[in-house]
Amino acid sequence: MISGLSAKNQEFIDNLDNIQSQLNTDVLQISSGSRMNQVSDDPDQVSELLQARAALSASQQITTNLGGISAEVDTGEQTLQTSVQLFDQVQTLAAEGSTGTQTAATRSTIAQQLQGIEQQYVALADTSFEGRYIFSGDSDQTEPYTYDATQADPVSAYLGTASTRQALNPNVTTFPVALTAQQIFDSADPTTNVFGALNGLITALQNNDPTAVQTSANGLATVAQYMNNQLAFYGTTQDIVASATDYASTQQTELTSVVSSLADTDTASAILNMTQAQTDQQAALGSYAQMSQKTLFDFLA
């Protein structure tokens, strides 16, 4: 324990300790690459640094989430593309069935073909991605529809939920990820209901009723336009996901820069500070040696 030092000697010891502390700090910053290794290094900047790191982490998680959402939306878009193309076949068969040259037997055959297409639509409505039914709303572990060919109306009632998942955009807004199968294939409006249009057409063909077949065929253009509108939703959502991903990338670059400016060592400055501290230390020791015949060990005894 140091005792009995004069004020002048005590000041010298204190200054030397400060220089050594600065040297230790500079060496640690250079070796670790971080200028904030503990709160006391820069207490005024700690809160800002923690906020920047939390924002960066959140943005990175959103990017990860957007990757999964992008794949799901792409699956939905491809499913709707298939649905739209399949409906072209429905319209072609309807046109064939409405001609006056068809017989009861040929119309029955066309009806059977349409029943097969209806079953395909149920399978499309039940599309899954990574173990989740993407058109079932929030109830993504439940198939939206089932098909039972023994029933007059073989397509079940919608089994999912009306609400759909919302995704978080890095700009802090949200957007819907999907439509429900009910919205796409089972619209509340009879003029845009895919299943309803198919059932009506199939029934008319089975009954060999050319007038009813023609009436059903005439309404298919409205259904086709409606399905294209649903496909457009997925195209728009793909654009939103791409834009959100780009935004997050830019955001992360900016936040990384902020974190770096707050936490990373300015190596050139740290080396300059260390060199200056070493020079100050040598100068202090040299000056003190000239001022006193006693060594530091005399004071530390």
Distance CA 284, CA 278 (A): 10
What does the pLDDT look like over 185-243, one tens digit per residue? 999 999 999 999 999 999 999 999 999 999 999 999 999 999 999 999 999 999 999 99
Q: What is residue 165's three-state secondary structure?
A: coil
Rounded mean pLDDT, 112-119: 97
In terms of DSSP H, where are the helices of the chain?
Answer: 7-32, 43-97, 104-125, 181-185, 194-206, 210-218, 220-263, 267-291, 296-300
Closest by CA position to 124, among listed 195, 202, 219: 195
Q: Rounded distance, CA 254 to CA 52, Å?
A: 10
* Mean pLDDT of the region 114-136: 97
User: Would you call 107 exposed, middle or buried from its count of C-beta atoms within 10 A (0-12, 13-18, 19+)?
Assistant: buried
CB 174 within 8 A of CB 210: no
Calculate what percentage of the chain has a pLDDT beyond 70. 72
Q: Of 10-19, 26-35, 93-102, which gets the smallest average pLDDT?
A: 26-35
How distant, in Å, are the alpha carbons of 115, 177, 245 from that of 93?
12, 34, 43
Three-state DSSP state, 166: strand
Residue 74 CB-density burial (10 A; 0-12 exposed, 13-18 middle, 19+ buried): middle
Element (H, E) at 301: none
Domains and CATH numbers, the chain: 63-256 (1.20.1330.10)
Segment 77-107, tens digit of pLDDT:
999 999 999 999 999 999 999 998 999 999 9
Radius of gyration of the chain (CA): 37
N-terminal to C-terminal alpha carbon distance within the chain: 8
The closest of 221, 85, 230 to 164, measured between CA atoms, is 230
**Predicted TM-score (pTM) of this structure:** 0.71
